[in-house]
Amino acid sequence: MKAIVTAMIASLHAMPTSTSEVVDEVLYGMTVKRIRDVNEGWVYIQTAYRYEGYCQKADLLVDEVLVSKWEREAQHIIFQSFADVLQQPRIQSSKLVTLVRGTSICVVSEENLPEEWSAVQLVTGQRGYVRTKWLQAKMTERSVSEQQFRENVVATALSYLGAPYRWGGKSPLGIDCSGLCSMAYLLNGVTIYRDAKIVEGFSIVKIARDQMQKGDLIYFPGHIALYIGDQLYVHSSIGGNEVSVNSLEENHPLYRHDLATTILEVGTLFQEKLCN
C-alpha cells in the first residue's frame, strides 16, 4: 500500500527509533510504499528509488485513492530553496506550511488570481498560494536535449552551494553527497540511485574518465560528486562542511588531493557513452 509524505521533511531511519541513524529524507508530497507496520508509531517503507527504512507514521497519509489522485495531479515542484504556502495570495498572509526545494505540489486553477501567485492544493486538500516563480513543472528525461539536460543538472546542483552538510539530508536545509547528486537529477526528471555507487537497474552506467562531461557523476570510496566541467566538481562533504566546488587539477587552488587521487569510477546517464 502506498502513502504520501505529509511532513516538510520525513526522516528515514535505520531502526524504528528517533535516535537511530538517519539514512535518508523523504520530502513532502513524495509517495512511498508501505512494506509493514512495526508498531503504533513506526512503519517500514520503500521509496521510489528503492531505499528502505523506518518512518514515523505521523509523517504519512495512507489512502490508496488519494495517493493515485496525487500522483496524477501533483505535477509541479517547489524550486526555491524553501517556500511558504500562504492562506491568501498576498505576502502578508499567514502560512499553512513551509515546503523545501524538491517538494511535489498540485497546482490548481483559480480565476482572477494575480500572475505572480499560483493556487496550490496540499495533500490534505487545503488550498494555499505560492509565488509562481517558485514553482516548476516536473521535468522528464526527454524534456530537453542531452546538452541542455547536462547544463540543467549542473545548474541545479550549484543552486545548493553553501547548503550545510547533513548526513542523510536532501534539502537546502542540509544535504549529503548522494542527496545532492540524486536531487540534481530528480529535479530534472531522472531518478538515480541515492548512494555513492553505480547500481544495476538504474540509469547511470560506467564510462572511462576521459569520456566525462558536464553532469556526469564521479565516484570515490564512500563519496560521490557531480562534474561541472573544466576539471571542477560540486559535492557535499563532511570535510568541507557544506556544498562546495573543488578541482581535479593538482595546481588549482581548489584541488583536493584526497579525492582527486581516489576516483573509483565515472558514471553517465547517456548510455551511448558506455565503454566497450
Residues involved in catalysis: 177, 223, 235
| DSSP letter string, 142-193 | TSS-HHHHHHHHHHHHHTTTTPBB-TT-EETTEE-HHHHHHHHHHTTT----
- Angle of helix 146-158 relative to helix 177-186, nearest 10 degrees, comes to 140
140: which 3 cell numbers?
522528464
Please, what's the b/e burial string for 140-176 (b: 16 or more CB within 10 A of its CB; e: otherwise)? eeeeeeeeebbbbbbebbebbeebebbebbbbbbbbb
- Give the whole-angstrom CA distance, residue 64 versus residue 81: 30
Q: Scanning the structure block, which residue is given the C-alpha cell 509541479? A: 76
3-state secondary structure of 254: coil
Rounded Cα distance between 52 and 44, Å, is: 7
Secondary-structure percent of the chain, ordered helix, strand, coil, rounded to 5: 20, 40, 45
CA 99 to chain centre: 13
d(C-alpha 67, C-alpha 173), whole Å: 27
Torsion of CA 69, 74, 75, 76, to 10 degrees: 180
